[in-house]
Structure 1
Amino acid sequence: MCELLGMSANVPTDIVFSFTGLMQRGGRTGPHRDGWGIAFYEGRGLRLFQDPAASSESEVAQLVQRYPIKSEVVIGHIRQANVGNVCPTHILSCVNSGAATGALRTMAS
């Protein structure tokens, strides 16, 4: 089971406020402590952060929270592993990063 955070904006915007709430649900105020990820589509590329640790305890998540990355399309994910291991920490993880970029580009259209 997972929870998602998504944003589509007409101008580059940061999601620090919303991500802070999602980050806390990842192990502190919610049960989703089995990894997290967030992807920012930045026109021609993708900036992806992910960690198998609970987002509420993740140093990577704290970095994302402190650094306001501006983007037009963002998707974030916190995970609660009901079955299996904690390996897939982001719904856009894939061997071909172009596929993830393409998915976010489609959302931006």
Structure 2
Amino acid sequence: MKKQIIIIALIGFISMSFISLMAQEQPDKKPTQEQVDTLTVKQIKTVNKILSAYNSELLSADDAKAIMDAIRDAKILGGKGVEDAITGAGFDYEKIKKLAPPPARPDEKQKK
């Protein structure tokens, strides 16, 4: 009986060690930026609210950076969904992107 308890405890310990190893982040994996193709109605409203403070014809680089920072701060993932929301609000997404390019990914910074 004592031997069975020791074996069960040992199996439990090994299982827990394995699970904790699997849960650790893999250092070899490169971070990726998630992107979404469509936004929710709430996210689109948030983008529209952010853009309402700016004139689409008179955007400066600081304005473009502030817009993109506000979108990121709102936890809205980049991608086609954000592009469509910005364009749908009457802004030139490509112009904003040129004025405020997305930040370099950590793996891209190392290449420079």
Query: Going by fraction, where is strand more abundant, 1 or 2?
Result: 1
Using the size of structure 2 for normalisation, the TM-score is 0.28
Using the size of structure 1 for normalisation, the TM-score is 0.28
Greater C-alpha Rg:
2
